[in-house]
A and B are shown apart, each in its own frame.
Chain A
Amino acid sequence: MIEIERLTKRYGATTAVDQLTFTVKPGTVTGFLGPNGAGKSTTLRMILGLNTPTSGTVTVDGVPFAGRPRGLRHVGALLDASDVHGGRSARAHLSALARSNRIPLGRVDEVLTEVGLGKAAGRRIGGYSLGMKQRLGIAGALLGDPPVLLFDEPLNGLDPEGVLWVRGLFRRLAAEGRTVFVSSHMMTEMEHTADRLVVIGRGRLIADESLAEFSARHAESSVAVRAPELPKLADALRAEGAEVTVVEPQSGVVTGMTAERIGELAVRHGVVVHELAARTSSLESAFMSLTADSVEYLAGETR
Chain B
Amino acid sequence: MSTMTLTRAESARLAEPALRFTDLLAAEWIKLRSLRSTYWVLALASLVAIGVNLNAVHSDLTYIDHPPRPIPGLPPFRYDALYHSLSDIACYLMAIAAGSLGAITVFGEYTTGMIRTTFAAVPDRRGVIAAKVLLIGGITALAGAVVSAASFFGGNAMLASRHVGLSITQGVSLRAVIAYAAIVPVCALVGMALGALLRHATASIVSLVLLFFILPLMFGGDRYRWLYEIGAHLPMQTVNRLTYNPDSNSTISKWAPSVLDSWITMGVWAVASVAVTMVVVRRRDV
Q: Are B286 and A100 in contact (CB under 8 A)?
A: no
Tell me if A70 and B30 are in contact (CB < 8 A). Answer: no
Q: Are A176 and B121 in contact (CB under 8 A)?
A: no
B1-40 vs A, CB cutoff 8 Å, 1 = contact: the mask equals: 1001101110010011101100110111011011111000
Inter-chain contact A74/B30, CB cutoff 8 Å = no
Q: How far is the CB of A181 from chain B (nearest CB, A)?
A: 14
Say yes or no for B267: interface residue by CB 8 A criterion.
Answer: no
**Which chain A residues border B222 with CB–CB below 8 Å?**
none
Stretch with Cβ within 8 A of B (4 or more), from A48-56, A243-251, A289-297: A48-56
Q: Is B31 touching A96 in the complex (CB atoms < 8 A)?
A: yes
- A72 in contact with B121 (CB, 8 Å): yes
Q: How far is the CB of B105 from chain A (nearest CB, A)?
A: 11
Stretch at the interface among B51-59, B68-76, B111-119, B174-182: B111-119
* A77 interfacial contact with B, CB 8 Å: yes
Given contact pairs A45-B116, A102-B23, A177 touches B8 in the complex (Cβ within 8 A): yes
Known contacts A50-B286, A69-B124, A147-B12, A27 near B5 by CB under 8 Å:
yes
The answer on a CB contact under 8 Å between A92 and B30 is: yes
Residues from chain A with Cβ under 8 Å of B4 in the complex = 27, 176-177
Also in contact, A96 and B12, with CB within 8 A (given A83-B112, A177-B7): no
A100 and B24 form a contact (CB under 8 A): yes
Query: Which residue in chain A gives the minimum CB-CB distance to B125?
Result: A66
Question: In the assembled complex, how far is the CB of residue B136 from the closest CB belonging to chain A, in whole angstroms?
Answer: 15
Residue A33 interfacial (CB < 8 Å) = no
| In the bound complex, CA of A146 to CA of B34 (Å) | 26
Which of B19, B20, B35, B116 touches A50 (beta carbons < 8 Å)?
A: B116
Give the chain B neighbours of A70 by CB distance below 8 A. Answer: 16, 19, 121-124
- Cβ B120 vs Cβ A79 within 8 A: yes
With contacts A27-B5, A88-B35, A102-B23 known, is A71 near B113, CB below 8 A?
no
Contacts of A140 in B (CB 8 A): 117, 121
From known contacts A48-B120, A50-B119, infer whether A83 and B113 are also in contact, taking CB-CB under 8 Å. yes
Shortest CB-to-CB span from A122 to chain B, Å, is 11
A102 touching B20 by the CB < 8 A rule? yes
The residue from A68, A79, A87 contacting B123, defined by CB atoms under 8 A apart: A68
Say yes or no: is A205 at the interface (Cβ < 8 Å to chain B).
no
Which residues from chain B sit less than 8 Å from chain A, CB to CB? 1, 4-5, 7-9, 12, 15-17, 19-20, 23-24, 26-28, 30-31, 33-37, 108-109, 112-124, 127-128, 285-286
14 residue pairs from A and B, CB less than 8 Å apart: A49-B123, A61-B9, A65-B123, A70-B16, A70-B121, A75-B120, A82-B113, A84-B117, A87-B35, A92-B33, A100-B27, A100-B128, A147-B12, A177-B5
